[in-house]
Structure formats: structure tokens, C-alpha cells
Amino acid sequence: MIVTSIQNPDLDDDSLVENVELELLLQAVYLKYGYDFREYSRAHIKRRVLHYIANKRLPNISSLQHELLIEKKCFDELLQELSINVTEMFRGPGFYKSIREKVAGLLKTYPYIKIWHAGCSTGEEVYSMAILLKEEGLYDRTQIYATDFNPRVVKSAREATFPLKYIKEYTSNYQKSGGQESFSDYYRATNSSVIFDRSLTKNMVFAEHNLVTDRVFAEVNMIISRNVLIYFNRHLQNKVLSLFDESLSTGGFLGLGNKETISFSDIAPKYKIIDAREKIYKKSHE
Amino acid sequence: MNSVPAYQAVVIGASSGGLHALKKMLPAIPRDFPCPILIVQHISPVSENYLTVILDKVSQINIKEADEKEPILAGTAYVAPPDYHLLVEADKTLSFSVEDKVNYSRPSIDVLFQTAADAYNEHLVGILLTGANADGSEGMSYIKKRGGFTIVQDPADAESPVMPKTAIMQQEPDMILTLDGIIEQLLKPGFIFPEKKSHQ
Ligand SMILES: C[S@@+](CC[C@H](N)C(=O)[O-])C[C@H]1O[C@@H](n2cnc3c(N)ncnc32)[C@H](O)[C@@H]1O
């Protein structure tokens, strides 16, 4: 139990009680459902839980606990609240540009490429990468694993369908990322959504995988995990980065979100910086 | 008892007109300011870190864009990066989230203020400046609820009065001051700075 973190002598009683209630709730979630949020950024988790109980009109965190333990549905809802699924296609176009310019050339020397998108949310990032790889002539020899711990987003990612209303923004991101083709060639538009082409989905496998509690499932040449580590505390970040390291073959690439870094982790000495700003690293030795 | 300062951190929220206000306020803060300052200024998601660069150039205290899980230190002002919410953890480190916009904003003032209030409780000073939306009001109320001290810029003195007005309507702040008044208050002995000791 991580009790020290909540025993802050400055705390007034209300917030101490709230922190204890939250600790117990996370413990209960872990014991009952196996999802381990205990080492997530606590400020974030607390905000989301308070938001959830406010919506449910519950007076405090403890009053959620019993329902949560007996109603799976209640946990499913809470999981949606805790897993932040905000994403876009070609989010942070500079990242993709850098992959095109600094990584694709090296990937071309590989006979076969395996890529893992960890924390892929509803898949926008995965389809973006597939487009990039296709344009670089790499997609046909690539296998993409895309995973997330939230079953709902994994299911949605598989469907290759995205709301039409964002497509203008995505097209602009695509162009900023160095895309030269006509973006609309990659999808079919209906009234309210766009459906991406089968030629993009054919080498994708989507699966549920929890970075905190599950193990490595494959050896891969590139791992993309952007804006996932920000939700973990330093200790858990380090643990998950070691998991990535275990999965990456020597010479493989790691791409993180632009506020994330490996510099404080145990794996840092093994990695070379490919792009400091876009947080792209290369595993230089075992 | 006078060795324990009453306040351990200052949070500042600003929206439209905020750059001017911050450019006036931050240079007035001396290098030995005994608290950290945490700032959310609403800003376009694609802007570079120019806000930090501009402010740092004109200020004596160190002004930097917040880093992930960075420890919060006195005498430094941390600015929320574009397109991320900035949160304060109980162990006084900074963290980020990319969750949906709150009050149409990312970074959101409410997110910073609420998490800072949870981390610092009554040892927090919240300052809400000029702006044309309703962000920050919830956060200011929350700071009050946790026992902290709240100052709102006088709407008549603000480039955009809506944000301060909204906050004042929701919850009466401890002080309503002009920008100059806020600066004066921050420098007043016995507030953030310790009471002047008479040298023997
Ligand atoms: C903000 S989204 C990032 C989506 C995408 N990578 C991007 O950058 O646009 C964070 C994702 O991480 C997932 N996530 C959080 N904790 C996880 C865990 N322990 N294991 C796997 N995925 C996790 C969430 O469900 C969410 O979809």
C-alpha cells in the first residue's frame, strides 16, 4: 500500500479523508477487476473520480465503492472516465514528419517490420501510421499491433470509422506531416463518418492489453506510445518503459508524446536520441 | 510560529488580455520570491513556447514551460504548455493531461486551480486575471473551499472583464484589486514574504 503519499501533514481533514477514500477505491478496483490505477497520477485520477461521483450525484467517494464492487456496469463507466481517449489523426504532425524523414529510411533496410501502438485509443494514430508506411512503400511488409486497456476503444478502433466532422483538421495535419497524396483517397465518406480503406487495415491487429498488469507479447521493431505515460507516476513510467525495452529489438525505435521522456528511466543509457523534440529514440544496444 | 509561511504557492489564471497583464505583473516579482508561481494562460494549441520566452526575457524570476513530473520550486514560475492541462500532484510535482477541453480551454484554469488547491490546501493563493470566458470560477471557489486565499482582478481594470466578473459573481473573493494592487499585495511583508524582522 502506498500510504505515505497521502499522509501530508498540511492536509486539512476533508482532503485527507477524500484521499483515503480514493486510495481504498483504487484498491477495491484492483482487487475486484484487476485494473491497477494505484500508480497513476493521483491528481488526474482524483479529478476524474470526483467528476464521476458528481454526475452520479453521490455525496462522496466511499458511497461509490459498494455499487462499484457489485455492478460491473458501474466499473465499465468509471473506466471510461479514467481512460482519457482523446486523440486525432496525425496528432502533432511534426512527429510523423520526423518518422518519415529520420526513421522510414532505416526501416526500409528491414525485410519485415513489426510495430506496436501501445495505448492506441480509438485508432486514429494507427491509421495515420499505416498511411505513412504505405506512402513510404513499407506497409506491405509491416505488421501493426495496436493495443489499449479499454475494450470499448479497441472495438471502435477496429471499425476504421471516424466522425466526418474532424476530417478537415485531419487533412491539414496530414499535409503538415509531409503527406503529399490526396488524403481523401484513403477513405470513403458517408453522411456523418469516414471509413478507411481495407488496404490500410489489412495488416493491423487490435487487442486489449494493459501496460500495468500484462506482459510483453511480441518482439517488435518500433513502439509508439504517445500521451499514455503522462498518466503514470515516475515509478510506473519506469516500469512501463522497461516493458517497452523488453519488447523492442536492438536497433528498434521508440516514439513517445512530446511531453514524455525516457531520460529519468533505467532504460535511458541504452537509447540514442533520434529527435529530441518529437521524442523519438533508438535502442542502440541490449 | 512565524517561521512557517502562510502561503506556499501562487496560481495565476488569465485568458484574453492576459499576456499584457502577465508582462506587467511578473517583472515586478523579485528574484527572492519565496513561493513558486503556476500559470495557465489560454493560448492557441499550436503556438510554440513563445509565451514563456517573452515572459522570461522581461522577468527577474525564472520563467519556464512546465515539464512532466517536475518538482515545483520557489522562485520559479511554471507556465502550462499549449494543448495540455497542467495539474499539481500531492507531492508538489507537475503532471499533464490531454483530456477534453474544460470551459473550451486546454490548458484550463479550473484544472490547475482545483488540483493545486488539493495539493496546497490553505497554503495557496489564487489570482484570476483578465479574460473573455468563464474558466477559473470553479477553481477559485474550490481554492476558497480548501481554505486558500483568492484575488480577482478588478473587472474595470481588466482588458476583458468577463472572466473576473464571472468569478466574482460565483464566489466573493478575498480581494478585488487592480493589477498594480495585486502586485503590491504580492510584495507586502507578512503575505507571501515573511513579516519584516527588526534586526537586533
Ligand atoms: C490520451 S490517449 C492517447 C491516444 C494516442 N496514443 C494519441 O497520442 O493520440 C491515452 C490512451 O491510453 C490508454 N491507457 C491508459 N492506461 C493504459 C494502460 N494501463 N494500458 C493500456 N492503455 C492504457 C487509454 O485508454 C487511452 O486510450
- Cβ of A233 closer than 6 Å to ligand 1, yes or no, is no
CATH of the domain at B39: 3.40.50.180
B46 in a structural domain? yes
Q: How far apart are CA A59 and CA B15, in angstroms?
A: 33
Q: Write the residue in A6, A84, A234 that is nearest to B99 by C-beta.
A: A84
B4 in a structural domain? no
Q: Which of B110, B161, B108, B102 is nearest to B131 (CA)?
A: B161
**Helix/strand/coil for B142:** helix
B1 in a structural domain? no
What is the predicted pLDDT for the residue at A192?
94
B194 in a structural domain? no
Q: Which residue bears the cell 499514455? A: A228
Domains in chain A (CATH in brackets) are 13-82 (no CATH), 93-283 (3.40.50.150)
Q: Which residue bears the cell 512527429? A: A95
B2 in a structural domain? no
- Cβ of A83 closer than 6 Å to ligand 1, yes or no, is yes
Q: How far apart are CA A40 and CA A79, in angstroms?
A: 13
**Residue A12 at interface with chain B, using a CB cutoff of 8 Å:** yes
Which residues of chain B, if any, have pLDDT below 70? 1-5, 197-200
Number of domains in chain B: 1
B197 in a structural domain? no
φ, ψ of residue B16 to 5 degrees: the values are -65, 135
**Taking CB atoms and an 8 Å limit, are B98 and A19 in contact across chains?**
no
- Cβ of A1 closer than 6 Å to ligand 1, yes or no, is no
Tell me the residue range of the domain where B117 lies: 9-187
Contacts B146 to A, Cβ<8 Å: 12, 14-15
Which residues of chain A, if any, have pLDDT below 70? 1-12
B16 in a structural domain? yes
Contact at 8 Å (CB) between A40 and A231?
yes
**Ligand 1 center from residue A87 Cα (angstroms):** 9
pLDDT digits over A220-238, tens only? 999 999 999 999 999 999 9
φ, ψ of residue A123 to 5 degrees: the values are 100, -5
Choose, from B110, B135, B154, B157, the residue flagged as catalytic.
Answer: B135
What is the predicted pLDDT for the residue at A13?
73
Closest alpha carbon within chain A to B92: A43
What is the predicted pLDDT for the residue at A11?
58
B196 in a structural domain? no
**Ligand 1 center from residue A6 Cα (angstroms):** 26
Closest alpha carbon within chain A to B101: A86
What is the 3 state secondary structure string of chain A? CCCHHHCCCCCCHHHHHHHHHHHHHHHHHHHHHCCCCCCECHHHHHHHHHHHHHHCCCCCCHHHHHHHHHCHHHHHHHHHHHCCCCCCCCCCHHHHHHHHHHHHHHHCCCCCEEEEEECCCCCHHHHHHHHHHHHCCCHHHEEEEEEECCHHHHHHHHCCEEEHHHHHHHHHHHHHCCCCCCHHHHEEECCCEEEECHHHHCCEEEEECCCCCCCCCCCEEEEEECCCHHHECHHHHHHHHHHHHHHEEEEEEEEECCCCCCCCCCCHHHEEEEECCCCEEEECCC
pLDDT digits over A235-251, tens only? 999 999 999 999 999 99
Catalytic, B135? Answer yes
What pTM was estimated for this model as a whole? 0.94
Contacts A10 to B, Cβ<8 Å: 120-121, 123
Q: How far apart are CA B26 and CA A74, in angstroms?
A: 46
pLDDT digits over A80-119, tens only? 999 999 999 999 999 999 999 999 999 999 999 999 999 9
**Ligand 1 center from residue A120 Cα (angstroms):** 6
Q: How far apart are CA A107 and CA A113, in angstroms?
A: 7
pLDDT digits over B46-102, tens only? 777 788 999 999 999 999 999 999 999 999 999 999 999 999 999 999 999 999 999
B42: which residues sit within 8 A by CB, 6+ positions away? B14, B15, B16, B18, B105, B107, B109, B131, B133, B135
What is the predicted pLDDT for the residue at B199?
53
Q: How far apart are CA A275 and CA B9, in angstroms?
A: 35
